[in-house]
A and B are shown apart, each in its own frame.
Chain A
Amino acid sequence: MLKVLLPIVLAPAILCTTITFTTHRQNRAEFTYVSGPEPETLDPPLLTGFLEGRIVAALFEGLTQYEPKDLSPIPGIASHWNVSEDGRTYTFYLRDTKWSNGEPLTAHDFVYSWKRALDPITAADYAYQLYYIKNARPFNEGRLTDFSQVGVRAVDDYTLEVQLENPTAFFLDLTSFPTLMPVNRKCAEAHGDDWTLPENMVCNGPFRLAEWKINDRIRMEKNPFYWDAQHVKLQSIDALAIESINTGFNVYETGGADYLYGVPLPLVETLSDRKDFHSHVFLATFFLRFNVTAPPFDDVRVRKALDMAIDKEGIVKYVTRGGEIPAATLVPPGMPNYQPPEGLPFNPEEAQRLLAEAGYPGGHGFPKTEYLFNTSEANKDIAEVIQQMWKKYLGIDVTLVNQEWKVFLSTVKNLDYQIARGNWIGDYVDPNTFLDMFVTGGGNNRTGWSNRRYDQLIEAAAEEKDEDKRMEIFREAENILVADDLPILPVYYHVSLDMYRPHVKGVSPNLLNIHPWKYVRIDRETN
């Protein structure tokens, strides 16, 4: 009997092992980093996430690319450009570059790619990043079908002309953004959704895609056809898809990776003294949203009281512990030329006074309130501490409600909450990426707040060409947001927490935590 059973049991086991070992490669890349969860897509205009952005930035290059330290746009596929007097026309002059299959890359490729990104059939999440281009919006919304009316045109093979709706000061920043990166027409049309698979993908960046195993790893190899290939140091890169931050750390710590994005929060304190630990200000803010359409949060005094009763120092010191910075404003520090307003201080006495003035002295009679957050350990920790602070300083009891991510999002979207956790990561280094969120009816406003003066200021900033004046306008707008009206309650600015080994050279810390791999090299000799 065992003679029958054993082969039945063992045969598939042996087969499976063979499959496992033949399909999973063993050799390690020159540089391995822990990337985070499985990338959702590698199709440049479709992607929305940071970790996808890192991979795509290695595989593709736009008209401009990020300067690794200050993230300003520097020449990429375009070697130089002109901006017209009125700030509405950009002319890009392209280098003579090649796709990874050796074919030339021309201005027509950009026209095709932007058309594809805007095409309703592509259904790109971030198509709105192109809305600054003339007529791009109606085309994406299906109201305009003739793409020749959209403000992008190939003057000749190596000259691209772009017409904008407004003089958009940060348009050049956007040209290094994945949404605006070129996609190879033949490849995309021949393979449809499968064009990003390693066997099909044609790209134009410093690296090309060699392998993509779901939930396992992405292998990239140096692209010999890249225009600046002589300056690319790494021969191969592995991006490990590891969902849990803890597991990622374990892999890094046991020698399985050279670079780790994100450190488990409980370890930050222990690790902060180590040489391979790197923390830097990040372009992101943690805040709370108030639903201003219903009492008690339709009263600005209540909102201010709640803000001033939070010891934000205490939160970053005891809860987040990663060197985060307590926030009084929405826009994080480090924006060039921008002087943020002061916001509100931590002041329990004033908070109590305001709450009493609003009719709830000592918290008496304060309506039942719920604090909503999406299920996660970090959010829970913060919520519990804030709950305690409000109880201690204001005498009000807040119930914590957590919802799983998708439910949370739809609850907040429908203004079906009272106080909700919020978070925002900037797309580019300009206050606009934070402030235009709260204009009346903005898709990401989600507080029900509307202020005509604020709307006017944001609009004026879009029209303003003088940089100093523009920043002054933003400052006035933000003051309304965080000092006068307070539909949101800024808590802290995020920091990026990374670890990388001393032999990883050429990493420049910056606001977006973007480190183009083309500048990175492995050097085990010097220390």
Chain B
Amino acid sequence: MAIVLLIIATASFFLMRFAPGGPFDKERTLPEAIEKNLRAKYHLDRPLAVQYIIYMGGLIRGDLGPSFKYRNRSVNTIIAQSFPISLTLGIYALSLAFIVGVSAGTFAAVNKHSALDYTTMSITLLGISLPNFFLGLILLLLFCFELPLFPAAGWGRPGQMVLPILTLAAPFTAYIARLMRASMLDVLSQPYIRTARAKGLSEFQVVSRHALKNAITPIVSFMGPAAAAVLTGSIVIEKIFAIPGLGTHFVNAALNRDYTLVMGTVLLYSFLLVLFNLAVDIAYSFIDPRVRL
């Protein structure tokens, strides 16, 4: 894991440095002497290898360095303020997607080939075909402008969280529902389910006690990639709804050549995903005893 992060840190460090334009290029050209002062302050006047060592040294101590754009902020404080918001958004969206997706998928599978099944499957297919920003805009148009139920932007009040979470959760809900339906159908055709039915258990009992447990395994393993996708998805959502999370910082930082902030964000995201995948593996072994870590 440490090696993976090291590779990511190195790759993004050099990728950023080779980008044309620097953090101090602005509409107004700075007098040479002032630009020199700035470069000295941020060690940009040193050879690249030295800069790399300085950065890595800081990284080991958990110091992600100062932001180049936000002159009085360290990357650590920016992340500390913004990340919990993105995390909240992501966790809610994922939980919602998980709960709704699993229920809808199960429902569709149990009522296979019914009108309900087809409706659910069409909606979910639409869900994975709609660009996220498009959906967000439609929701904004309907529930904020036409029907003023929710505020247009911002973060902090419960009302402000509804639209962003719905928008972010939609494609994952759809995907999970489809995955769940297929998996549930697979499980329901297994012999042991027939046994359970033969024992006289109601369909509800069969599904909730026996089938669900096995059918849910592929969903759990999907949660790893899903977490990755939620992180990227939240970039769009945060932009549309002006949420002060970390996602907006990432794109802006890359455009602004805010080297340290870009690296801090990339490293944090990578670290989280690696961690999350590990957690999924553990959860997997809980559900399926055959899998050993």
Contacts and interface: CB of A to CB of B under 8 A. Distances in A.
* A and B pair up: yes
Interface of A: 1-2, 4-5, 8-10, 12-13, 16-17, 19-21, 23-26, 38, 40-43, 46, 48, 120-125, 127-128, 137, 140-142, 193-197, 213-216, 240-244, 247-248, 250-251, 253-254, 256, 404-411, 413, 423-424, 443-444, 446
Q: Which of B25, B144, B212 has the most CB of A within 10 A?
A: B25
A247 B73 CA distance: 25
Interface string B98-124: 100000000000000000000000000
Contacts of B145: 250, 254
B181 interface: no
B102 to A, nearest CB: 9
Nearest to A413: B29
27 contacts: A1-B213, A1-B287, A13-B92, A19-B84, A20-B84, A20-B155, A20-B156, A23-B84, A38-B70, A123-B41, A125-B24, A125-B30, A127-B37, A137-B33, A215-B245, A243-B239, A243-B252, A247-B152, A247-B241, A250-B145, A250-B153, A253-B152, A254-B145, A406-B256, A409-B26, A410-B21, A443-B28
Contacts of A214: 70, 73, 78, 81-82, 244
Contacts of A124: 34
B64 to A, nearest CB: 14
Given A120-B37, A123-B38, A247-B152, A9 B255 contact: no
B58 interface: no
B26 A213 contact: no
A125 B34 contact: yes
Contacts of B177: none
B114 to A, nearest CB: 25
Contact of B155 (A195, A216, A424): A216
B33 A142 contact: yes
A240 B33 CA distance: 35
The 8 closest A-B pairs by CB, nearest first: A406-B21, A24-B156, A16-B88, A215-B244, A443-B29, A250-B152, A141-B33, A409-B25
A17 B140 CA distance: 22
A142 B88 CA distance: 48
A250 B144 contact: yes
B152 A254 contact: yes
A418 B236 CA distance: 35
B249 interface: yes
Given A5-B283, A125-B34, 10 more contacts: A1-B287, A20-B84, A21-B156, A41-B71, A125-B30, A215-B244, A409-B21, A409-B26, A410-B25, A443-B28
Contact of A125 (B19, B36, B38): B38
Contacts of B283: 5, 8
Nearest to A425: B27
Interface residues of B, number: 68
B70 A41 contact: yes
Nearest to A242: B242
Contacts of B242: 215, 242-244, 247-248, 251
Contacts of B74: 193
A124 B28 CA distance: 13
Interface string B115-154: 0000000000000000000000000100011001001111
Contact of A443 (B31, B152, B286): B31
